[in-house]
Each structure stands twice: as structure tokens, then as C-alpha cells.
Amino acid sequence: MTEYTAALKQVADAASQAAQEVAPALHHAADRVSEMASDGMSAIRQGSRQCRDQMARASSCTVSHIRQHPTQTIVIAALLGATAVALLSLLRRR
């Protein structure tokens, strides 16, 4: 039984030593994953901000164009609506 106990102690000591050797690498990996997640979230926030800014500029340009050329805007809208109705009626016939 003492051989069995000695073998178990040897295995336990080896496992403890392996855990002590691996722990710093695991902590480093966890820190790196956390850093990458933070960088990813920052990139998402920046992309979202840029998208909002571009949408605001597009909206402003659209409003400006409508104010400067109201008749042209109405004609274009009417033509787009007529084209959409024509396409839908063609698709329904098939």
C-alpha cells in the first residue's frame, strides 16, 4: 500500500508542478483575450459612430436637395413609384 501511496503522491506533485508552470501562460492568455475583446468593442463603437455620422450627412444632403429642387424631387419620386408599380404588376402576371 505504501508504493501505491508514494505513486499517488508523485502524481499529485507532478500535477501541482504542471499547474504552477501553466498558470502564468493561462493568465497571459486570459489577459490577451480580454484585451482583444476590448479592442473589438472599441472598433464596433467607432464603426457605429461613423455609420451614424454618414447617415446624418446623407439625410442632411437629401433635405437640402429637396429644398433646392422641390419640383425635380416630386417628378423623380413619381417616376420611381410608377416604375415600382409597373415592376410589381409584371411580377404578378407570371
- Single pTM value for the model: 0.54
In this predicted model, what pLDDT tens digit does every residue of 64-90 receive, in sequence order? 999 999 999 999 999 999 999 999 999
| Confidence band of 3 (pLDDT split at 50, 70, 90) | confident
d(CA 25, CA 33): 12
Answer yes or no: are the C-beta atoms of 73 and 66 closer than 8 Å. yes
Model confidence over 6-63: pLDDT tens digits?
878 888 888 888 878 888 888 999 999 999 999 999 999 999 999 999 999 999 999 9
Identify which of 82, 79, 62 has the alpha carbon closest to the alpha carbon of residue 70: 62
Residue whose C-alpha is closest to residue 40's, from 50, 48, 28, 52? 48
Domain limits, the chain: 2-68
